[in-house]
A and B are shown apart, each in its own frame.
Chain A
Amino acid sequence: AQSVTQPDIHITVSEGASLELRCNYSYGATPYLFWYVQSPGQGLQLLLKYFSGDTLVQGIKGFEAEFKRSQSSFNLRKPSVHWSDAAEYFCAVGAYAAGNKLTFGGGTRVLVKP
């Protein structure tokens, strides 16, 4: 069965500082990996996704993520955080063989200090 772990429940970062959110997954084959962002009271917006190929993927809003098969990780990064990045971030793993079902991590809530 697929599983996803986001070790950090909360992260506080100063505006302009860099941000890295951790995601570790468990899946027997090559997974499809996603990062979603949820602003308060809103639905989920897709930030980026990895299916195959280049292990460094670029997303919207200046985010990027790197797939590391040896570490079963897919960490999300942003070089300089803006106040509008305060939100909850979810990592998810999916696989076509699993009926396109997604398994989500518990989420990381990011607070941005001025």
Chain B
Amino acid sequence: DAGITQSPRHKVTETGTPVTLRCHQTENHRYMYWYRQDPGHGLRLIHYSYGVKDTDKGEVSDGYSVSRSKTEDFLLTLESATSSQTSVYFCAISDRENQETQYFGPGTRLLVL
């Protein structure tokens, strides 16, 4: 299994509060991704990174920001959480030799009240 951890694994927060989710990898992979999973939608890409300080938006990026100051860490921030951001969030990384294959972390379940 790829060395990917996500923290926290579960979080309950209130509308309007900031939330930061962390993805940590031990594989030294260049590409990292944040997805959200909602019933009937599969996984949808929020943001991704193709190197330290290099990030770009995915299809559902509104209300989210990311940062990557080190190869191993990719942070997802909800600046002001809303109930529509209640979801399960997955981080993924791409294999260096085979960039098209993504490996997923265990997920973070976020509830915004």
Contact = CB atoms under 8 A, between A and B. Distances in A.
A85 B43 CA distance: 20
A13 interface: no
Contacts of A36: 104
Given A43-B90, A43-B106, A104 B42 contact: yes
B25 interface: no
Interface residues on A, range: 20 to 34
B16 interface: no
Interface in A6-55: 6, 9, 32, 34, 36, 42-46, 49, 51
Interface in A73-114: 90, 92, 94, 96, 99-107
B90 A94 contact: no
B101 A90 contact: no
A42 B94 CA distance: 19
Contacts, number: 61
B103 A90 contact: no
A100 B103 contact: no
Contact of A106 (B41, B56, B90, B105): B41
A90 B43 contact: yes
A12 to B, nearest CB: 18
A100 B100 contact: yes
B87 to A, nearest CB: 14
A106 B31 contact: no
B58 interface: yes
Contacts of B101: 34, 46, 49
A57 to B, nearest CB: 13
Interface stretch (B44-52, B61-69, B76-84): B44-52
B90 A44 contact: yes
5 contacts: A6-B42, A32-B100, A42-B107, A44-B104, A100-B50
Interface of B: 31, 33, 35, 40-45, 48, 50, 56, 58, 90, 92, 94, 99-107
